A and B are shown apart, each in its own frame.
Chain A
Amino acid sequence: MRIHTTRRLLGALAVVSALALSATACGSDAADGGSGSAGPKDVAAALAKGGKVTVWAWEPTLKKVAEDFEKKYPKVDVELVNAGTGDKQYTALQNAIAAGSGAPDVAQVEYYALGQFTIAKSVEDLAPYGAQKHALDFTGGPWNAVHQDKSIYALPMDSGPMAFFYNKKVFDKHSIKVPTTWDEYVDAARALHKADPKVFIANDTGDAGATTSLIWQAGGRPYKTDGTDVTVDFGDEGTKKYTATWQKLLDEKLVAPVTSWSDAWYKGLADGSIATLSTGAWMPANLSSGVASASGDWRVAPLPQWTKGAKASAENGGSSLAVPKAAKNKELAYAFTEFATTGAGASSRIAQGAFPATRADLESKAFLDTAFPYFGGQKANQIFAESAKNVGTDWSYLPYQVYANSIFNDTVGKAYVSPTKLTDGLKAWQDASVKYGNDQGFTVNK
């Protein structure tokens, strides 16, 4: 018993000194986080003791991970709850945190939404639990999204480096070349729609995630956050590149007025009337389950470029697992988070079709050589992995991006249904975002 205690003390000491070493100027951060006693050893102790972890997530691959976790730690009971997807869940989470009861121990949070919870300090800093040791396990983009200075607010679960999905059958039928630049994309859009008026190169009714991702790829960095100082500027070069091209598509009515994820969208993807998708690498799972009938028609290519010959990419979607401050058993919550995002948990999720945020998996030969029957046997992961490497750096979302995205259609959306120009729509979005931010106590554009 005594030996055990001593070893535990030594272990804790080792952790503390390691953290003190790694933390240069603001070493107090680590000690402040959590109850002060939290550390890897406590995580191990909590696992041995057992208990219940409630996980709010909508990701279907986590089911298997939860089973595996329970098998490995029989005393732990993982309760997986689908509390809604995306903003529905964030609202529920926010409410549960505000109400002081009912918050889960672990929550799935997309990268774009994480800022909202970190700035409000409603998620636990995972660094004291030993999360720092995973810094190099994850790819740059996702890791950049979950940490700030020495604090780690979540562990990346998956990522969405962008790629270009196209319906080869449709392109072949009209003998149109697959675009490699956005200018060629506009030409292809015209050619396709002319060859068959029912066919559109893409669907778009105004989607905040897609727009910001393409601005990201074009080199635009409209959002900058430094503590509570926030800048919103949709006037930079990257944004201009995006609006110039997309405005052409809107003016000539070359995009289908179909909202993504609706059943009409799935129908369009199945019958070829929506011929391409520029989206995250998680899309194959959705294609094979939702558009099974078009299996073999689709292929993957690198995202069209803003400059010929460039290799720029961006992220679209992707989510992390965070531990709310209100969690009842934070040590167990961290243990599950770590299990699900690294090692065996990550591999199990990849095997089920998730797209990894872990370097080791992205670089593994087995992963790169996986042939996708859906894409006619194409080794699509090679394109995705290449894209993951080329994701533009320094991107950040607003600390209240969930709100900003919710008003996208009231502002930028007008460009899709009225003569309003995209530039004006983005300006209106910017103004609304600035106003909201200032009302919430941020210092925006000052």
Chain B
Amino acid sequence: MTTTLTRTPSATTATTAKRRARRPHTPLDPRPSIPLTLVTGLVLVYTLLPLAWLLINATKDQKGLLGSFGLWFADDFNLWDNVTRTLTYDDGVFVRWLLNTLLYVAAGAGGATVLAVLGGYALAKYDFPGRKAVFAVVIGAVAVPGTALAVPTFLMFSKMGLTNTPWAVIIPSLISPFGLYLMWVFAAEAVPKELLEAARIDGSGELRTFFTIALPLLTPGTVTVLLFSMVATWNNYFLPLIMIKDPDWYPLTLGLNAWNAQAQTAGGEAVFDLIVTGSLLTIVPIVAVFLLLQRYWQSGLAAGSVKE
């Protein structure tokens, strides 16, 4: 015992010293830290565990779901059967919800991105009276959580007779103060004033300058905003919850919750297996989008952080 105790520190120092001699650590190549690695590892497990649970449990039928250990497979493999049943249950209402979600994301998040890009560019590159006021309003709007606005929005839409229609979800989704702010900051950095001046001198109109010169430069920022608004709209629950009562217009979030609620009522049919499989199917598109757009938004996040 004593020998180990005395030996260990010296051994560690020896190896560290050896490593240090071989390759000096610089700020760009920091020394590996064991506690930090451990913490990161824990966070990694914590992050991936729910995903693993979801993957594993999507392969079980209801019996296996209730009767077997959550983090391991049941005896039989029902993934394909579950997927088929999820897509066909209740006259294929899941597919309808999926299409609704796609509509809300395409129109809502797509529209929000277009508006954010146009607005952000204009605020960054044009000097006009009231610019400061717009800035204050945007910053103020970022601070107001969407949840707080949901009820007033509902009352307003109710008066306009728009509740229970897709417009009730799409129109509020079009407004993204954070996206606007992001695009503004990004446009200020990514589009050099000199370039725009050169274009103007060459006789290019403002619209042409925007589409042919500014827009390509704005791509990383645009993709970032698009990704953020897509994820936000895809996961949006509260807004559709209060706006939409008709199951035909539900997005996936509400639909899955409705399936879950079925198990909580007298005479209702419990479909836990379909909820788990449905949840898995729900995250697949968003994961795919994230992976596909990753390189754009990574470069987007880094832009403007280094002065060249």
Contacts and interface: CB of A to CB of B under 8 A. Distances in A.
Given A60-B262, A85-B261, A102-B245, A292 B63 contact: yes
B66 A101 contact: no
Interface centre among B62, B161, B267, B272 (most CB of A within 10 A): B267
B266 A317 contact: yes
Interface stretch (A266-274, A324-332, A425-433): A266-274
Contact of A60 (B63, B161, B163, B269): B269
A424 interface: no
A130 interface: no
Given A101-B158, A102-B245, A266-B263, A292 B62 contact: yes
- At the interface, is chain B mostly helix, strand, loop or mixed? loop
A81 B66 contact: no
B69 to A, nearest CB: 11
A5 B267 CA distance: 45
B266 A99 contact: no
Interface in A16-59: 56, 58-59
Interface string A207-223: 00000000000000000
Contacts of B272: 263, 266, 290
B267 A286 contact: yes
Contacts of A83: 245
Contacts of A56: 245
Contacts of A285: 266-267, 269
Interface residues of A, number: 40
B270 interface: yes
Contact of A293 (B66, B164, B264, B271): B66
Contacts, number: 92
A271 B264 contact: no
B265 A86 contact: yes
A291 B163 CA distance: 38
Interface in B59-78: 62-63, 66-67
Nearest to B151: A95
A2 to B, nearest CB: 41
A141 interface: no
Contacts of B268: 58-60, 85, 286, 289
B67 A290 contact: no
Nearest to A261: B264
Contact of A271 (B67, B262, B265): B67
Interface of B: 62-63, 66-67, 155, 158, 161, 163-164, 245-247, 258, 261-272
Interface of A: 56, 58-61, 79, 81-86, 88, 92, 99, 101-102, 158, 160, 261, 263, 266-267, 270-271, 280, 282-283, 285-286, 289-293, 317-319, 353-354
4 shortest interchain CB distances as A-B pairs? A290-B270, A293-B63, A261-B264, A85-B265
